[in-house]
């Protein structure tokens, strides 16, 4: 790909551009070799189509677990309070 084509691709796909910008190594690779953009785009598209993103899933699971722990402690405090009455 030429630089002009890369700019057009990034302009048409702002989510792809954001994904590229997340990692400085990707940015450097594209700047040094614009033909790499096609490979990155294919990887991004495959990931977007339904490949499992385990990092994202584990982060969400951790947050849900923390929230449930907080709710459970509130419920325990309420149960202890009602027992004292």
Q: How far is CA 79 from CA 1, 23, 30, 66, 68, in A?
A: 65, 48, 59, 20, 16
The span from the CA of 39 to the CA of 27, in Å, is: 13
If pLDDT is split at 50, 70 and 90, which confidence band does 80 have?
very high
Helix axes 14-22, 3-12, angle to 10 degrees: 110
Read off the tokens for 65.
Answer: 């677990």
pLDDT in tens, 19-73: 999 989 999 999 999 988 999 999 888 877 766 677 778 889 999 999 999 999 9
């Amino acid at each position: 790909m030429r630089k002009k084509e890369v700019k057009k691709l990034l302009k048409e796909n702002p989510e792809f551009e954001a994904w590229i910008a997340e990692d400085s190594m990707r940015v450097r690779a594209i700047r040094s070799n614009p033909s790499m953009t096609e490979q990155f785009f294919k990887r991004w598209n495959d990931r977007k189509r339904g490949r499992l993103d385990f990092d994202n899933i584990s982060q969400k699971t951790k947050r849900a677990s923390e929230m449930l722990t907080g709710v459970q402690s509130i419920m325990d405090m309420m149960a202890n309070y009602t027992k004292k009455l």
